[in-house]
Structure 1
C-alpha cells in the first residue's frame, strides 16, 4: 500500500500574502469548498484575530461540515506574558477551527533581533502556547519559522525548539524554509537528521525564492516528512509558496505516494483554474500539469508522433489530472496538426490530403498577416469547419454604422446595424460605452429574437496588440476576444489596420461560433457548444 502523505493547504492564509491577491470572505468560502472536494487534509483559513474578513470566514465556514480539518493560524504568546492573557491565542480558540497552527522562532538570530528576547524565553513561549492550545481541545501544529536557516546557524538551538514543540504535544512539527533560500540537497540532509531525532511526525513548508519550492518539498518527503504545506498555483509572499498543483501529482503519479483519490486528482486542473479565476490572477499557460499548454503540441514531428502514441511526447496522460491534450495549429504546423485537429472535431478530412494542405497554406497566409490561432481556438475551429464543409451561415451582416457624439462631458456611441437571419432582415440600434460594446449590443439585440440562448453569452476579455508599432496610429492590430456561456469559454481573433474592423471580425466569429447550427426550438435548453455538436456525450 502506498505511503500516505498529508496535504496542508494554506492558499487562504499564506497565499493571500502574495502581491495583488485579495480574497473576500465569500471568495475564501468558495475556495475552501473546492479544496475540500479535492481531498486536502488541512485547510488553513487565516488568522481569526487579525482582521474582520478572517473572522467572518471562520464564522461562515464552521457550519459547512468540511471533510478537511479547518485550521486557524496564529503565533506563540507574546514574550514575558501568559497564554491566558494573550488575545491572539484567545481568538484561535474561539474560531471554531479544529486545529491551530502556531508559528514560532527556531533561529537564534530571529529570537535576538525580531523578538528581542532571550533564547530561554522563546523556548518557553513555544512550549506554553502549544500546550495551551492542546488543553483547550484543539489539535496543535508547530510551524518552525526559518528552521533551515536556524539549523545551519545553530543546530542545537533549532532542534531544542522542535523538542519543546514535541514535549508540548504538537501533533505535527513543520520545518519552514521561510526565506526560500535552501537547496534540495540541504533540505534532504537536514530533514533526514530531524526525523531520526524527533519522533513527532514532520511536515515541510517551503517558499519559492530560488525556484525550488516544489523540489525542496519532494526532497523533504523522500527524507521522511509526511506532511507537505503549500498553496494552489504557488501563490504567496515574494516569489510564492510551494505549488500544490505540481506537488500532489508529482508525489502520487511519479513517486508512488498517496495524497488524494484518483477521482479527486482528476479535478486538479479544474481546482487550479477555479482558484485562479477567484483570485483574479492569470494562470500561466505553461504551468505544469494544469496549464492550458501543459499538454499542447505544435511541432509537426511531435503531433505526428502523438497521433501514433501520446507517450511519445507526454509524460503522463493529461486526463489523470483533469487536463486535456491540445494540438496547436500555426505557421509551424505540419499536415499532422491539421489532420489531428480535424479528427478531434469529427470532420471528414478525405483521403487525398488536398484539403489539409490547402488549410495549412491558408493558416500560414493568415498568420503572416498577423493572425494567431494558438490563442483563438474558436476562430481556428470555424476556419477548419469552413474548409471541410461543415458550417452553415446562421446570419449575415449586411451593413453597420457607428456614430460617436461628444455631448458636453459625455461621449455617446451608437451602432446602427442591418442583418439577415434566414429570410428576415432586421434593423437594430444600440448604444454602448464604446464602439465595440455598441456593436456587440446591436448584434445581440438583432439576434436574440431568433436565438434566445444568446442572452447567456458574454465577453470576458478583450485584448488589443499593435503588430507594427512603427506605423503609429496606422498600425495593424490584432484583437483577441474571450467569450463564455457559463459552461464553456472560447476565444476568437481579428486583424486589421482599423481596430474597429479587427474587433468586429473577432466579435462576429465569437457569436457565429456560439450560434452555428443552433436550432430555434432548443436554443434555450442547450449550451452553444452542445447545439454545435462540439461536446461529446
Structure 2
C-alpha cells in the first residue's frame, strides 16, 4: 500500500449507536450508508448480525442497495472457547450477513482472557486464528480488531503481539489496534504503533480510538504518523461513554494538514453536509462547537478578531471554511464595534454606509439590549429587523394593539388548556382573534397567525422548529429575566429570533412577533 494512502473505516452504524441517546432504524442506517458511500468512505461497519432485529434487517436490505465505492462489513466475535468454529452460532451469523468484509474483535489483554472470557491464553490465540481462517476460507475479507490492545500491550507486550500474529496467520487483511478504554496517551500510542507496524511487516495496521481522555483524534493522527494506514471512527465522534474518534475531524486533518491520500478527498466540501445529515438521521441536535463542521468553527465575535479576519481571512481562520463545506460567520454582541456590524450586515446582504450616523445609535441600542438579556448570536432575524429599524428601511406589516393569555387547569380531568387573545392593526384593519392550545406560547402563535393569514397567506407555510428558554439572572428567582430563542422554518430556510423579559410570556411574544415580521419582510 502507498505510504500516504489511508483507508477510512466508519463504525457509526454500530459503535456510534452505542452512544447514549442515539438510536437509528434500519431505514435510517440504509440512508446513512448511501450518504457515506457518496462521500467516499471506504468501509462501513453496518452492525452486529444477530444482536438485534434492526441490524439483521439492515444486512438483508443493504444487499439490494447499489453502492458506488464503499464496502460493507459485519461485526462480531470469534468462536467461543471450546467450540469448533464450524459450529459456532456467531460465526454462522457473520457469514449469513453476506458482506464482503467481516470484522471480528479478539482479546489481547490477559486480564480479559483469564478473568472475563475465562479461558487460557493459548485457547484465546486459537479462537482468533481459527475464526479468521474460517471466515477467509468462506470468501470473506477479514479485519481483526485487537480489543484493548494498548492496555494489553502495556501489561504484556509479547502476548498482545501474539494475538496479532494469530490473526495474521489466519489471513487477516488488516489488524486494528483498539484503545477500547480510551486511556492511552499520544506519546505512548506513537511508540506502540511504530513497533507493531514493524512487527507486522506486509500486513497493514489500523487504529480504533475512543475519546475518554479527549485524545481520540490526536491518538489517531499520531498513529498514522507512525505508520497506521487505516483509521476507524464515527461521524461527529458519537459513541459509548465519551465517544469515538471523530471522523469529521480526522478526515480533514489527514487531507489538509498531513497531506495523506484519502479516497474521500474529492468530496471534502461535503463534510459538513455529511455531519448534519447524520444528526438528522439520528435525531440529534447538532453540536455547533465541533471542529471543522460546527457552525461556530469559523464564527467571529470579538471586534478585533472579526476585523482582522475580514481583512485577511487566514489571520484568524486556520483553513478556508469552504474546503469542508462551512462558512465564516460574524456574531454580533455587546463587544461589537462598527467594523463588525458592517461585516455582519454585508453577510446578511444588507448594504450599509459605514459613515451613517444611525450605526452609532444602533450600536448603543444593541449594547443596551444585550445588557437587558437579549442575545443576537443565534438570532439573525431579530438582528436584521433591529438594524432595518435604525436604518429606517423596515416596513411595519402590522401593529400590536394588545394580547392576553389565560391558562386553565382542571385537576379533576387532569387537563390544561391555554387561551390567547390577540388584537392587531393590519394595514388599518383591526383583527381581534382567539385561539386555544395546550400551552400559552402555542396559543399566542396560533392567534397571531389567525389574525394575519387572510392578508398574508404565506404564513400558512411556516412552523415553529425549536423553542429554547434561558434564565439570565437565576439569583432573582421567579422574577428573573428570561431569554427566549425561537427557530422558525418554511420550505426554504430557517431563521432565529429572540425575546427577553422578566415575564416569560412577553419574552415569547417578542420572539414570535419577530419571526412573523421577518418572514414578511423577506418577501417584500
Same-fold status (TM-score > 0.5): yes
1:117 maps to which residue? 119
TM-superposed deviation, 1:221: 0.5
1:523 maps to which residue? none
Q: Does 1:197 align with 2:199?
A: yes
Q: Aligned with 1:237: secondary structure? A: coil
1:83 maps to which residue? 85
Distance in 1 (CA, whole Å) between partners of 2:185 and 2:109 is 18
Q: Does 1:413 align with 2:418?
A: yes
Q: After the TM superposition, which parts of structure 1 deviate over 6 Å for at least 4 consecutive aligned residues?
A: none
Q: Aligned with 1:70: secondary structure? A: strand
Deviation string, structure 1 residues 426-477 (Cα, Å, up to 9, x no partner): 3433211111001111222333344444333221221222223333322221
Question: With structure 2 as the length reference, what TM-score do the two structures score?
Answer: 0.95
Q: Does 1:74 align with 2:79?
A: no
How big is the alpha-carbon RMSD for the aligned residues of Structure 1 and Structure 2? 1.9
Distance in 2 (CA, whole Å) between partners of 1:2 and 1:488 is 44
Q: Aligned with 1:287: secondary structure? A: coil
> Where does 1:83-162 land on structure 2 (aligned, <5 Å)?
83-162=85-164
1:446 maps to which residue? 451
Q: Aligned with 1:459: secondary structure? A: strand
Change (3 A) 1:94 1:447: farther
Distance in 1 (CA, whole Å) between partners of 2:303 and 2:96 is 60
Change (3 A) 1:351 1:105: closer
Q: Does 1:285 align with 2:288?
A: yes
Q: Aligned with 1:236: secondary structure? A: coil
Conserved? CA contact 1:25–1:54, under 8 Å: yes
Distance in 1 (CA, whole Å) between partners of 2:111 and 2:478 is 58
Conserved? CA contact 1:45–1:57, under 8 Å: yes
Conserved? CA contact 2:338–2:354, under 8 Å: no
Deviation string, structure 1 residues 77-128 (Cα, Å, up to 9, x no partner): 1010012211111111111322111001112221111111111111111111
Q: Aligned with 1:115: secondary structure? A: coil
Q: Which of 472, 475, 480 does residue 475 from structure 1 map onto?
A: 480
Q: Does 1:170 align with 2:175?
A: no
TM-superposed deviation, 1:349: 1.8
Q: Aligned with 2:116: secondary structure? A: helix
1:389 maps to which residue? 392
Q: Does 1:509 align with 2:514?
A: yes
Instruction: Please say which of residues 36-45 and 485-494 is displaced more in the overlay.
Output: 485-494
Deviation string, structure 1 residues 55-76 (Cα, Å, up to 9, x no partner): 1222222211123111111010
Distance in 2 (CA, whole Å) between partners of 1:252 and 1:236 is 24
Distance in 2 (CA, whole Å) between partners of 1:70 and 1:384 is 52
1:12 maps to which residue? 13
Deviation string, structure 1 residues 166-206 (Cα, Å, up to 9, x no partner): 11111111111111111112111111111112121111101
Distance in 1 (CA, whole Å) between partners of 2:111 and 2:522 is 69
Q: Does 1:47 align with 2:67?
A: no
Q: Which of 491, 514, 517 does residue 496 from structure 2 map onto?
A: 491
Distance in 1 (CA, whole Å) between partners of 2:381 and 2:261 is 38
Number of equivalences: 519
Distance in 1 (CA, whole Å) between partners of 2:157 and 2:354 is 71
TM-superposed deviation, 1:486: 4.6
1:533 maps to which residue? none
Question: With structure 1 as the length reference, what TM-score do the two structures score?
Answer: 0.92
Distance in 2 (CA, whole Å) between partners of 1:190 and 1:468 is 51
Distance in 1 (CA, whole Å) between partners of 2:3 and 2:328 is 28
Conserved? CA contact 2:497–2:515, under 8 Å: yes
Distance in 1 (CA, whole Å) between partners of 2:196 and 2:492 is 49
Change (3 A) 1:436 1:86: same
